[in-house]
Amino acid sequence: MQENLKTVTMQAGIPGTITLLQKGVFIHATSGMSVRDFMVETIGLDPDYAETRVRAIFVNGSPVDDIDGVKINDGDEVSLSGALPGISGIAMCRDTPIGAFRSDISAQSSDAVRSGDAKIYLKLFNLIAQEAGKTLLQKGVIALAEDVRAYLKEGAPEELPPENGPVLLKI
């Protein structure tokens, strides 16, 4: 699923980049891949980083405990975060003793197999946005030109097309 998009290059470290990643960007992946494989193969996170630093994962708003069993599919929204504050944050993180209290809302494992392209809406929060955002942007993300302008303000790349719509944003 390769889109014919204008590639726009931005400078690393532009103020507003983390806010843009929190708002969300699209990336291409393979439908049916596990959340772990998505983080490592698609985003480019080191396997140890994905295991230890990414503490809260949500797929379509449901917390994920089993990063090998939960699979992503075309159109899914995936949110990645470091540790979350407070008792609610603790309850939503992976491998928490109180995770059993939220079993009814947790993402369920799937037998889905890799099969075709998937366009995933990805949101990165707190330390993950700061630490992994550059890796993600080096690979490229699909963002709306109007969002790039809104969040990066005067740091927005000059080659953004004047019309609103999707662009391939890279550093």
In which region does residue 86 sit, left (phi positive, over 0), alpha (psi from -120 to 50) or beta (all else)? Answer: left
pLDDT: which is higher, 163 or 75 = 75
How many angstroms separate the CA atoms of 59 and 109, rounded?
11
Confidence of residue 1 (pLDDT cuts 50, 70, 90): very low
Interval 53-64 mean pLDDT: 96
Token pair 């947790």 is found at 106
What's the predicted TM-score (pTM) here? 0.92
Interval 8-29 mean pLDDT: 94
What's at 163, amino acid-wise? E
7-9 sheet: strands from edge to edge: 7-9, 166-170, 141-144, 25-30, 117-124, 77-81, 56-59, 62-63
pLDDT of 95 reads: 82
Q: Has residue 2 got a pLDDT over 70?
A: no
- Per-residue tokens: 99: 């995770």
The mean predicted confidence, pLDDT, of the chain is: 92
pLDDT of 47 reads: 97
Tens-place pLDDT, residues 106-124 = 888 888 888 899 999 999 9
Confidence of residue 52 (pLDDT cuts 50, 70, 90): very high
